[in-house]
Amino acid sequence: MKFRSAVLFAAGAALMATMLGAGQANATRPSSLTLSPNTVVAGGTVTADIYCLRPSGAGELAATLTADGLAAPIPLRVVGDGGTGGIGVALRGSGPVGTVPGRYAATYDCWGWIVRAEFTVSN
């Protein structure tokens, strides 16, 4: 009976350690780029939400998002740390898409980690 109690205690301790470790791991998330809406009427506005995980010694990020399909580069502003306690940077900006219908891709360099999102310009 004592052996069974010891095994149950060890299993419980391992489960708790796993759950606590998972909570800490969720504090970080991979860099990402999201464009919304995904489909935009020609000449309409798209919003870019970017999250970059900050490596140690990181410098400045690009101040604009450029891509084919945009009428002009989208100016970006820092809007926080993405809920990661300072280990990341969240950026946001809005701007017009072009007038040529099609499917386009935007990329952004998060300190060497390239994030990508697609959007469609429709008639």
| CA 72 vs CA 32, 44, 116: distances in Å | 21, 12, 18
- Contact between 74 and 45 under an 8 Å Cβ cutoff? The reply is no
> Which whole number is the average pLDDT over 37-45?
97
**Tens of pLDDT, residues 55-102:** 988 999 999 999 999 999 999 999 999 888 889 999 999 999 999 999
pTM: 0.76
C-alpha 106/C-alpha 68 separation (Å) is 7
| CA 116 vs CA 6, 35, 41, 45, 107: distances in Å | 50, 9, 21, 18, 4
- Contact between 69 and 94 under an 8 Å Cβ cutoff? The reply is no
